[in-house]
Amino acid sequence: MKKIYIRNHAAFAGKWIYEGFYAAWKSRGFLPIYYNTLDEISGDNYDLMAIDHDIQTSAHLEVIRRSDRAYLFVQPTSFPKPWGLHPNFISQMPEQFREEVNGLPNVHKWSFAKTQEIEYYSEWGDVETVHLAYDSLNYKLEDNSCYEYDVCYVGGWADNGFNEKRSIILEHLGKFKNSSLKCAFSVNRGISHEQENLLLSRSKVALNIHDAYQRSLGLDLNERTFKGLALSGILVTDNVRVFSEVFPEIPTYQSSSEMIDLVGHYCSLPEHELADLRQFNQKKVLENHTYIQRVNQFLNL
């Protein structure tokens, strides 16, 4: 059984993302193993497949050098301006390391973002886009024929070094204070898979809010995009360019005022129209956008 090493993310979005990847790799017959430091796998003979998320040091490069019998899926670290100016996003990999990684035939480079057109990734050569997805193994659709809520939101501040998300969330959720909608919002509460599963499944509409850099660049989608569509079936999301490329049939909002109008529109639809929309969206996610499909994408590189 081949091993797949996945870096352990103990909190925030990375925890849920890599739990999804863990379950998906396991479902394909691999032995997934979380690691916290490179020392934990330094004694392995590297006859394995690996995802590594933060290639910054000579120790990381040494793992790659010794993995000549493995296929590695490497996520380069670099970020565009203005966010790339913050220490959180500055790549520490020296240029000669990058050139060596680019020259290795067993290394596949990937990113959650659509990077082909972006200058700051050009130094990495070919980088495969592997969007986030819905974790169909750790989440399950509940019966949502009887709704408890009109709209729900589950998320966190996700401070990217500029603390932009906090003000965005407060502005958008504040729009619901004077509405008659029954809302279920959980921000920075650390709720479980099971609680989130029930909340999304029992809401007519799932709300989605991206970070400022995602809105500006339009290159990647948060995991909430796929989770909301799969479990609620109706998603109200902000206008991120790549969303319209992946889901061209779903309208987006440009402002918080448009957001609440769109939520109200869906909540006022007859149940049979909501049911048809929900079934269409859920089917598309389950057939095209689960972590199992993402693993298949890695295996087909």
pLDDT mean over 126-146: 87
Residues of the chain with CATH 3.40.50.2000: 149-288
Cβ pair 242, 218 in contact under 8 A: yes
Measured CA to CA in angstroms, residue 262 lies from 156, 235, 270 at distances of: 22, 10, 15
Per-residue confidence (pLDDT) for residue 5, from 0 to 100 = 82
Q: Quick one: CA dihedral 265, 268, 270, 275, positive or negative?
A: positive
Q: Could you read off the pLDDT of 192-240 as tens digits, one per residue? A: 889 999 999 999 999 999 999 899 889 899 999 999 999 999 999 999 9
Interacting residues of 220 by C-beta distance below 8 A, sequence separation 6+: 111, 112, 113, 114, 131, 132, 214, 240, 242
Higher pLDDT, 37 or 19: 19
- Per residue, what are the HEC states of 157-223? CCCCCCCHHHHHHHHHHHCCCCCCCCEEEEECCCCCHHHHHHHHHCEEEEEECCCHHHHHHCCCCCH
Output the CA angle 176-178-184, nearest 5 degrees: 35
Kindly report the pTM of this predicted structure: 0.90
- CATH code, residues 3-131+290-299: 3.40.50
- pLDDT cut 70: percent of the chain above it: 83
**Distance separating the N- and C-terminal Cα atoms of the chain:** 20
Q: Quick one: CA dihedral 101, 102, 104, 108, positive or negative?
A: positive
- Helix, strand, coil percentages for the chain (3-state, nearest 5): 45, 15, 40
Asked if the model's pLDDT at residue 296 lies above 90, the reply is yes
Asked if the model's pLDDT at residue 101 lies above 60, the reply is yes
The total number of residues written for the chain in this structure: 301
Going by pLDDT thresholds of 50, 70 and 90, the confidence category of residue 256 is very high
Reading the block at residue 24, the tokens are: 């998906």
149-288: CATH class: alpha beta
Per-residue confidence (pLDDT) for residue 98, from 0 to 100 = 78
Coil, strand or helix at 79: coil
Asked if the model's pLDDT at residue 56 lies above 70, the reply is no
